[in-house]
Amino acid sequence: MPVSPKQARTLKHRSWVAFLVVPPIVFMSLFVVYPILSAFAYAFYEWRGLARGEFIGLANFREVLFGATMGPVVWNAFLHNVYALVALMIIQNGGGFFLAWLLYKEPFGFRFHRVAVFVPVVLSTIIVGFLWKLFLNPNFGIVNQALYSVGLDSLAKPWLGDSSTALGALILANAWHFIGFPTLVYLAGMQRIPSEIVEAARLDGTTEWQLLKGIVWPLVAPSTTILFTLLFIGAFNWFEIPYVMVGLDGSPFGTTDVLGLVFYRTAFGNQSASIQNFGQGSALATLLFLFIVVFASMLTLWLRRREIQF
Amino acid sequence: MRGLTMNLTRRMLMGVAMGGYLLSAGAAMAKTELTFWSWRQEDKTFYQDIIKKFQEKEPDISVKFETYAPENYQTILSTALAAGRGPDVIQARAYGNLESIATPGYLLALDKQNVPELANFPDSALAAETLRSDSKVYAVPFAMQAQLVVYNKKIFKDAGVNPPKTWDELMALCQALKAKNINPFSNGTATAWQNETIVGGLLSSMLGKQFEEDIVSGKANFTDPRFVNALTKLKDVSQYFAPNFTGVDYPSSQQLFVAGRAAMFAGGSYEVANFKNQNPTLDLGVFPAPVLKAGDEALIATYYDGGYAVNAKSDKKDAALKFVRFLATPEYGTAFTNTLKNLSPIKGIKIEDPITQEVAKLAEHSMSYLMLVRFRYQEPSGSVLLQSNVQKMLAGQQTPEQAAAEINKGVATYYKPFQK
């Protein structure tokens, strides 16, 4: 049967689409979907090391959430994740918003600052973690040295060893690392606001605060949606900075423990102290995944609704 | 889905094995080639020398030594074993970690018939490689480690002090050093597991062998006055640790000692070789945990690192056993101890290094490194409990009584003798 030119075009078009779509789908299924599904399946079995044992239904999930040993550890870590989320929302995203506003107004040297603020984001998290660990070293770190040199000896602390400051120190290190990202996204959002709106507001004699609150903040809502959602996901998957700076145990005595560390310790074991339990690790990973998917979707939907078209 | 994983893994491993086979086929047609896995990349030269020595005796067997990063070793090994593959000879760990690969039946049980050289080992070493459920030995032990106190002889000499025998002497010594502006200990508690090594290095003599026996039999638990008092003493001496010790992590505390800025380091015998590598001018000595009153037995806390095991599914078991038997001879133990400066548990070895000799002598009076040896089989492991609760106690956030009670509560959730 002869093929009409139109049919040939469609065929060509279709094979082109297939060529573009199939490889990523295969890649995603093999390296993303399949591992997630197998982790889900693993969670229903008992494990001896890496040898799969009996099917035990929901026992792993029960132990992770309510067990006498795992339960308190998991909830303790969960609270720290929530704490980090709230603190980073204020410091990292809030700080980013104000930094963006400063850069938006193009002060002297703004081109330099625009780059400078983003540089830490480019550094590897592992390097940032080690760097801050050195800065915060109680005896030769620059933070304490700086305090000593200006006579504030009483404020010097073993930052990462003190249970009242350790988690805060991790959060600040994280904010230092990533604040350039919200700054850049907000800056782009602000530059998208039509200048006549801002000028009109200025002509009407609005104060800076009214301008920020009434015009800029609502009009950068799409940026807020993205940033809040990403931070939510990041805060509950938080691992690298705590791992590098305080180790797998959430030292000191669990006061910096987060779910990522608990998962790693549980699934792969902690060389220096514990044994591996793949089933409970998978159960925790599954719960964490479901939690993030459900809440991140709800958060996105809610944030989307407050976005304004212009 | 399981079938799919098995197939994939199996195919990949078969591919790898096949590749290895093809590569070696030309050279080793008549030879039996064994693979030997380890996590000790840094000991590669040593093992290659050993393999050469072995081949002088068994020219028909060749051994391929392969290493993996320590943090991934257990995972890679158990994955390979679960797929029915893995190396012929395995460097395995001890205690709880050994159980995770021995329980599923991946390892060949060893006894006086297939490895007569097991007679060369003390019982405590074999116990480290014994599965609790069937009381069979699954690996030939390779190194004994001890927790004790390492000290800088030069600093001691300059300050005119001697290693302490009793706890009071230790406290007086610390005071004397402090008065001369010397940090007595370089230890810090920011790295969780350091709290366990500190307890082993400083408190073993005050706890005593009897305490260990009573814990094992259930006559005593961790709320016992011996344990609480020892923790109280530890809290006392912690004022002489590194400045701001709660924020000093393991590498920082090592550096402090290596740089000669502290007189003592409570920790593992394995630190000595490490310290010497970083600063060869250091003149070091070791002493056991100080005793409560003169006349008590001074102890160090010992444990075994791991052993050499044979893969139960290997089709070259005879050759693998020959190699493992070689790794159990005094000749091997002597080479191991003198090259790697780690004490081999094999009886009748000749030690050259004076500090290793000293450690070997101290080991005649020892108790177990308790939490690792007895309580690292279930969660919450005794080690996790000890580490975090001692860390909390030394940070001043709980009393020794509270720390002891917490540790006891955690262990009692699964340890039958405490549940009576």
- What are the DSSP calls for A250-261, one per residue? TSSTTTT--HHH
Q: Any idea which residue has 């380091």 for tokens?
A: B265
Q: Is the pLDDT of residue B21 over 60?
A: no
Determine the distance from the C-alpha atom of residue B198 to the mean position of all C-alpha atoms in its chain, rounded to a whole number.
Answer: 14
| Dihedral sign from CA coordinates of B255, B258, B263, B267 | positive
DSSP state of B347: T
Q: Is the pLDDT of residue A284 over 70?
A: yes
The average pLDDT across B11-25 equals 49
Residues B311, B286 share a domain: no
What's the number of domains chain B is made of?
A: 2
> Which of B2, B7, B72, B384 to substitute to test the interface with A, most A CBs within 10 Å?
B384
Q: Is the pLDDT of residue B152 over 80?
A: yes
Structure tokens at B322: 């020959």
Residue B67 DSSP SS3: strand
* pLDDT interval class at B194 (50, 70, 90): very high
Residues B188, B78 share a domain: no
- The reported pLDDT for the residue numbered A309 is 65
Residues B299, B202 share a domain: yes
Structure tokens at B92: 């395995």
A196-244 pLDDT tens trace:
988 898 888 888 899 998 889 999 999 999 999 999 999 999 999 999 9
Contacts of A136 in chain B (CB under 8 A): 247
Nearest residue of B to residue A161 by CA position?
B247
Picking from B139, B114, B143, the residue whose alpha carbon sits closest to that of residue B322 is B114
Picking from A51, A30, A71, A74, the residue whose alpha carbon sits closest to that of residue A279 is A51
C-alpha B261/C-alpha B186 separation (Å) is 8
Q: Which of residues 163-202 of A touch B (CB under 8 A)?
A: 163
Query: Is B337 a domain residue?
Result: no
C-alpha A235/C-alpha A88 separation (Å) is 8
The average pLDDT across B12-20 equals 49
Query: Is A21 a domain residue?
Result: no
Q: Model pTM?
A: 0.83
Query: Is B351 a domain residue?
Result: no
CATH number of the domain bearing residue B397:
3.40.190.10
For β-strands B300-304 and B262-268, DSSP reports them as unpaired
Picking from A272, A153, A138, A152, the residue whose alpha carbon sits closest to that of residue B95 is A272
Query: Is B252 a domain residue?
Result: yes
Query: Is A1 a domain residue?
Result: no
Query: Is B81 a domain residue?
Result: yes
Query: Is A13 a domain residue?
Result: no
Which amino acid type is present at position A142?
I
A50-82 pLDDT tens trace:
667 888 888 889 988 998 888 899 999 999 999
Query: Is B97 a domain residue?
Result: yes
Query: Is A225 a domain residue?
Result: yes
Residues B314, B299 share a domain: no
Query: Is A122 a domain residue?
Result: yes
The average pLDDT across B211-221 equals 93
Q: Is the pLDDT of residue B311 over 90?
A: yes
CATH number of the domain bearing residue A120:
1.10.3720.10
Residues B79, B174 share a domain: no
Query: Is B340 a domain residue?
Result: no
Contacts of B193 in chain A (CB under 8 A): 249, 272-273
> How far from B200 is each of A266, B266, B372, CA to CA, in Å?
25, 8, 10
For β-strands B366-368 and B300-304, DSSP reports them as parallel
What's the number of domains chain A is made of?
A: 1
Residues B191, B220 share a domain: yes
Residues B405, B282 share a domain: yes
Half-sphere exposure of residue B351, counting CA atoms within 13 Å on the CB side? 19
Residues B402, B379 share a domain: yes
Query: Is A37 a domain residue?
Result: no
Q: Is the pLDDT of residue A258 over 90?
A: yes
- Are the C-beta atoms of residues B191 and B391 closer than 8 Å to each other? no
Q: Which residues pair with B144 in a beta bridge?
A: B304, B343
Q: Which of residues 312-351 of B touch A (CB under 8 A)?
A: none
Residue A4 vs residue B357, higher pLDDT: B357
Residues B401, B382 share a domain: yes
Residues B174, B247 share a domain: yes
The average pLDDT across B160-167 equals 94
C-alpha A147/C-alpha A156 separation (Å) is 6
> How far from B250 is each of A186, A255, B75, B246, B344, CA to CA, in Å?
41, 18, 25, 11, 25
- Are the C-beta atoms of residues B140 and B130 closer than 8 Å to each other? no
Give chain A's mean pLDDT: 89
Residue-range definition of the domain harbouring residue A254: 59-305
Residue-range definition of the domain harbouring residue B181: 145-303+364-418
- Are the C-beta atoms of residues B314 and B320 closer than 8 Å to each other? yes
- The reported pLDDT for the residue numbered A274 is 67
What phi and psi values does residue B30 have, to the nearest 5 degrees? -90, -10
C-alpha A308/C-alpha A221 separation (Å) is 7
C-alpha B420/C-alpha B416 separation (Å) is 7
Helix%, strand%, coil% for chain A, nearest 5: 70, 5, 25
User: B193 CA to chain A: closest CA distance, Å?
Assistant: 6
A137 closest CB neighbour out of B192, B252, B384: B252
Residues B128, B8 share a domain: yes
B399-417 pLDDT tens trace:
999 999 999 999 999 999 9
Q: Is the pLDDT of residue A273 over 80?
A: no
Determine the distance from the C-alpha atom of residue B143 to the mean position of all C-alpha atoms in its chain, rounded to a whole number.
Answer: 7
C-alpha A62/C-alpha A17 separation (Å) is 45
- The reported pLDDT for the residue numbered B1 is 38
Give chain B's mean pLDDT: 88
- Are the C-beta atoms of residues B272 and B257 closer than 8 Å to each other? no
Residues B170, B67 share a domain: no
Query: Is B350 a domain residue?
Result: no
* pLDDT interval class at B397 (50, 70, 90): very high
Query: Is A181 a domain residue?
Result: yes
Q: Any idea which residue has 């770190």 for tokens?
A: A141
Contacts of B2 in chain A (CB under 8 A): 52
Residue B86 DSSP SS3: coil
* Interface check B86 vs A, CB under 8 A: no
Query: Is A46 a domain residue?
Result: no
H or E element, residue B57 = helix B44-57
